[in-house]
Amino acid sequence: MKFVSGTAAENYDVVVVGSGAGALTAGATAARAGKSVIILEKSDLLGGTSAVSGGMLWVADNHHACEAGIADSKAAAAEYVRAVARGRGREELLDAALNYGDQMLQFVEDQCGVRFIFLDNFPDYRQDLPGALEGGRTVEPELFNSKEALGSLTAHVRTDGRAPFTMQEYETWGAFTKFPWDELDLRQKEGLVAKGQALVSMLLASLVRSGAALVTGARGHRLVTDGGRVTGVELETGEIIGATDGVVLATGGFEWDKALADSMLASRLHTMCSPPSNTGDGLRMSQRIGGQTRGTREAWWAPMSITGDLRDGQPIGTLLRFERQGPGSIMVNRHGRRFANESQNYNDLARCLQSWDSAANQTLNTPAHVIVDHAYMQRYGILAHRAGQPTPDYLTEAATLEELAAKIGVPAENLSATVARFNEFAAKGQDPDFGRGTSAYDRYWGDADNAYPNPSLAPLQTGPFYAMQVVNGAFGTNGGIATDGLARVLDVDNNPVPGLFAAGNTTENAYAAGYPGAGATLGPIMTMGYLAGRTIAGEDPAYASPATTEPAAELVGA
């Protein structure tokens, strides 16, 4: 156990187990109300899954959209989320996420110094469902100078290793081959961070200003109770940290515990990109004292490839986005045929990887592969690989489609016919089979400079051809501890457990099986963290933005 900021004590008003965005929001909210707070992080780095995420928040009917003149409403968002979640969510959690989402957003901006970029044109993921918008519900963190704000604490914050750029900049630059890499290298040297690392760094800066204690290498093991009330946390080492007002469990999902994942998830999870410390600790702590468990069948599913990347020494998956969405790429299944709209959102596409062929007693679509040609490789590259470089192990290269089919084990006649049919229509900007490129979301991730009529479509014509295997992956699980709409943990009789709260991927998610848009993970997670902090502090969850706020210069000072 290592204190990286703050002062050690036997008791605090609030003990938060975990250090992702939900945990930090809960701690920062309670700290701004005058409560003493300690953040206990199991690993050696702060930030959890949030720090390696895109850092976006999906917040319906938010004040940025209102100021921009975008028409939105909580009723429209509720209709949309219910459709996305196929009616499986719990209304109490949905109401909490939608009713308090913008209040959370205003609070972390006004009181915690978190700064966001409003993405007015980032489309909701399911444009075909009622209540969807073509933009206005997603925000992302601004670039943040972590070195100036956090000083030596920066070394204790988790990073995903990506260059510091925003999604807003990605829209302008397009493919990675067009990025100003020299400028991005300079940003890194200056201490600028982006995405999830920027988000957690800004929240950490707020906690540091409030005098909170930040601890790494502290794995929570058991909850301490007194007369039915949770009064503290026992660490794996046996040390007990007392909590006068409440304990918040925010330890992440259980995806790295294979036994738990295999027994609880509806589909086999082949890889993930979250920190390996996500092994269900908070879920077990809650279960030991009778906490209710709900929603454990689901995860934040995503198509991934195994590229050799490591996190904390463990192999992780790499999310595929433009690699399958850019014009000139297709995805084929074990039979050498396309099976889905490659440009659709990652959560829905990953569900196609989970399909089962009952007659053949095997997976229907996996092994699956992304296929591109040499022209694509020259324009965009694949992940970190660029044309002209030695072909990495995660790519299969062949001079012809027939040779490629043999190497990846699919029928050559099927692959050739699939590409021929795709090419015929792609040249016209059409996809009659799966509708790729018809929605605003598909086109957002295409290439506006594409030589063909549709930014999402281009034929595959020029050898050599390349294939990259795709597996069912996830950012993390999103079910577990059941809470009410104030983030209070519920027992098996639906009664709140006194003194115990929870937020984040360790809990049942407000959107259940749904993924409405970019930031639909962190939006409700931070909202529940905010509600936990307000409830512990004995404050009305409703928040009114003050007439004046702290000067920006003070907000970013360590």
Residue 183's domain is classified under what CATH number? 3.50.50.60
Does any domain span residue 70?
yes
pLDDT-derived band at 551 (thresholds 50, 70, 90) equals very low
Do residues 484 and 541 make contact, with C-beta atoms less than 8 angstroms apart? no
Output the average pLDDT for the chain: 95
**What pLDDT shows up at residue 547?**
65
Tell me the per-residue pLDDT of 60-92, one tens digit each, with 9 for 90 and over: 999 999 999 999 999 999 999 999 998 888 999
Q: Is the pLDDT of residue 556 over 80?
A: no
Last residue of a domain, one of 421, 454, 473: 473
Structure tokens at 42: 């199991």
Q: Is the pLDDT of residue 552 over 50?
A: no
Question: Which CATH number covers residue 351?
Answer: 3.90.700.10
Which amino acid is present at 274? S
Same domain? For 461 and 338 the reply is yes
Q: Is the pLDDT of residue 548 over 60?
A: no
> Considering only CA atoms, which of 23, 547, 31 is closest in space to residue 281?
23
pTM for this one?
Answer: 0.95
Last residue of a domain, one of 447, 473, 499: 473
Same domain? For 75 and 198 the reply is yes
Distance between CA 65 and CA 135 in Å, rounded?
Answer: 9
Does any domain span residue 285?
no
**What pLDDT shows up at residue 176?**
86
Same domain? For 467 and 540 the reply is no
Tell me the per-residue pLDDT of 180-205, one tens digit each, with 9 for 90 and over: 999 999 999 999 999 999 999 999 99
Average pLDDT over residues 266-292: 97
- Total count of domains within the chain: 2
Q: Is the peptide bond before 464 cis (omega within 30 degrees of 0)?
A: yes
Do residues 348 and 439 make contact, with C-beta atoms less than 8 angstroms apart? no
**What pLDDT shows up at residue 175?**
81
The parent domain of residue 211 ranges over 2-254+478-547
Q: Give whole-number Cα distances, 140 to 130, 174, 198, 207, in Å.
A: 24, 17, 9, 20
Q: Is 157 exposed, middle or buried (0-12, 13-18, 19+ CB in 10 A)?
A: buried
Same domain? For 225 and 99 the reply is yes
